[in-house]
Amino acid sequence: MSLLALIGLAVLAGLLGAGVAGVTLTVFLHRGITHGSHRMKPSVYAAGRWFTYLTIYMRHWEWRRVHRKHHLYTDTWIDEIRHDPHSPIVISEREGINGYRRVSWHMAAIFHAEAKLPDIRDSTYDIPQLDRPLDALDRRIFDHPVRGAVVAGLAYAALFAGVAPLVLGVARTPSWELACAVAGIAALGVHIWVLLRFGGVINSDCHRGKVWVDGAGYAINVKLLSFLIFGEGEHQTHHLYPQFARISTRWDLGWRVIAVLRWLGLTEVVVDRETVLAARRQLSQSRAGQTP
Ligand SMILES: [Zn+2]
Ligand SMILES: [Zn+2]
């Protein structure tokens, strides 16, 4: 019974860790440093880099460049360099395989292959007015994402070895301590698996459109998914308006976190979603009124 409870505890801890990773991904990596939809104070930028290192295990500048490339070439292929890095449609057409399945389950492999290309290694997609230059911490620490995963695994194992016997009410025998430490490593496995699913769902299920939309490719809004992926479900809206800090109107946990940071004076939201959308509606109405 205690062993089952330990497994349950490992799954719960892994889900919580993946939740922290998901919030870091959407608030810091995606809406923050990549699209600049909110401008973070140095303290939030510093925390975001550490959270990325300890929960996402990717170089933050590589993630930013690969994602900007996705926006630039959404669902298109020009050549080996100029293409959408993870378009399920392009992968299906070019490789003759199920691109949706490939993107859903193999985002890590796709990302690592893309990160080796020269346009991701150099500054092709950097925006000097927006991007903070890489510093000594980036070169010495954040350039080694595998070490971040090892540190996280050790932290999970130490936490479980220290706390799990108390929670489960079992004696601290060597075999229980070992079982708890192993459960901690398993929690990291759950964390990474859920994180990869998070990325896979956005990039496959949110690109299942049947109609091409200029500026958004085959991206669609899957509002129900926003509950699971912290507001990222309105993916077509996001492609059309990447400058919006608030992506979804429902279930947008990422936006809630940004709103709290703004309230604390730790970040500034660049544009107001409702103002921009109202102006756009007004413009299309006046254009429709002019049409004979
Ligand atoms: Zn997309
Ligand atoms: Zn984006």
Q: What tens digit of pLDDT does each residue of 152-191 get?
A: 999 999 999 999 888 888 888 888 889 989 999 999 999 9
Whether residue 243 contacts residue 37, with contact meaning beta carbons closer than 8 Å, is answered with: yes
DSSP at 224: G
What's the pLDDT score for residue 285? Answer: 83
What's the pLDDT score for residue 47? Answer: 98
Measure 74 CA to ligand 1 centroid, in angstroms. 7
| pLDDT category of residue 223 using cuts at 50, 70 and 90 | confident
Measure 289 CA to ligand 2 centroid, in angstroms. 33
Of residues 56 and 231, the one with the higher pLDDT is: 56
What's the pLDDT score for residue 280? Answer: 83
What percentage of the chain reaches a pLDDT higher than 70? 99
| pLDDT category of residue 203 using cuts at 50, 70 and 90 | very high
| Residue the block writes with tokens 């993107």 | 103
Measure 87 CA to ligand 1 centroid, in angstroms. 8
Measure 247 CA to ligand 2 centroid, in angstroms. 10
Of residues 8 and 2, the one with the higher pLDDT is: 8
Give the chain's mean pLDDT: 93
Residue 68 pLDDT exceeds 80: yes
Nearest of 269, 274, 275 to residue 254 by alpha carbon: 269
What's the pLDDT score for residue 1? Answer: 63
Ligand nearest to the CA of 205: 1
Average pLDDT score over residue span 76-89: 96
Residue 292 pLDDT exceeds 80: no
- Residues 6 or more apart from 233 whose CB is under 8 A from it? 206, 221, 222, 223, 224, 225, 226, 227, 247, 248, 251
DSSP at 131: S
Residue 249 pLDDT exceeds 90: no
What's the pLDDT score for residue 165? Answer: 87
Measure 207 CA to ligand 2 centroid, in angstroms. 13
| Residue the block writes with tokens 């992506």 | 247
Average pLDDT score over residue span 89-101: 95
What are the sequence ranges of the domains in the chain? Answer: 2-290
pTM for the complete prediction? 0.92
Measure 277 CA to ligand 1 centroid, in angstroms. 20
Measure 213 CA to ligand 1 centroid, in angstroms. 12
Backbone angles phi, psi at 219, to 5 degrees: -70, 145
Average pLDDT score over residue span 99-125: 95
What is the spatial distance between Cα 99 and Cα 270, in angstroms, rounded to a whole number? 35
Residue 149 pLDDT exceeds 90: yes
Residue list, CB under 5 A from ion ligand 1 = 219
DSSP at 141: I
Measure 256 CA to ligand 1 centroid, in angstroms. 22
Measure 71 CA to ligand 2 centroid, in angstroms. 6
Ligand nearest to the CA of 207: 1
Measure 67 CA to ligand 2 centroid, in angstroms. 6
Q: Please give the structure tokens belonging to residue 155.
A: 């932290």
**Could you tell me the end-to-end alpha-carbon distance of the chain, in angstroms, rounded to an integer?**
75
Measure 140 CA to ligand 2 centroid, in angstroms. 28
